[in-house]
Amino acid sequence: MKTASFLKNIEYNETKPAISVMLETDFSKEIRIVFKAKQLMAAHKALKPIVVEIIDGAIDFDVIDSVHHLTRGDIIALEANVSHSLKAIKNSVVRLTLSKSDTA
């Protein structure tokens, strides 16, 4: 058994989002991304499917030229290799779930 908290021991980075691996299992990696207001994570692609959940705050999630305003409790899923970027509207805590492909 493994445990972690996305809301404890939060540390903001002054210049860019702070990224921490919170938990890793056989099937996923759970990552916390902490944004100060107005911080940007530039456009990028994930090699595997992802799920993004807003734990606290508000994020503009830009995917394929469409901006989704996500707030606390919202969740979005993307297939692999889809370009996306994130911009914090206010201080925010984001959960990123990276899928590990099934090898069976």
Residue identified by tokens 């990552």 is: 31
Q: What is the CATH number of the domain that holds 32?
A: 2.60.120.10
Q: Which of 30-34, 61-65, 99-103 has the highest mean pLDDT?
A: 30-34
For residue 87, being part of any structural domain is answered with: yes
> Tell me, what DSSP letter sits at residue 56?
E
Domain around 46: 18-99
Q: Decide: 34 and 10 in contact? Cβ < 8 Å.
A: yes
For residue 54, being part of any structural domain is answered with: yes
Question: 71: closest CA among 58, 62, 60, 61?
Answer: 58
Q: What pLDDT, in 10s, does the model give residues 44-92?
A: 999 999 999 999 999 999 998 899 999 999 999 999 999 999 999 999 9
The pLDDT > 70 percentage for the chain reads 96
User: CA-to-CA distance for 57 and 34, rounded, in angstroms?
Assistant: 10
Q: How many domains does the chain have?
A: 1
Q: What band does 27 get if pLDDT is binned at 50, 70 and 90?
A: confident
Residue identified by tokens 């911009």 is: 87
Q: Which residue has the higher pLDDT, 99 or 34?
A: 34
Reply yes or no on whether the pLDDT at 30 is more than 90. Answer: yes
For residue 104, being part of any structural domain is answered with: no
27 Cβ contact partners less than 8 Å away, ≥ 6 residues apart: 99, 100
Residue identified by tokens 């692999």 is: 80
For residue 76, being part of any structural domain is answered with: yes
For residue 84, being part of any structural domain is answered with: yes
For residue 8, being part of any structural domain is answered with: no
Stated pTM of the model: 0.92
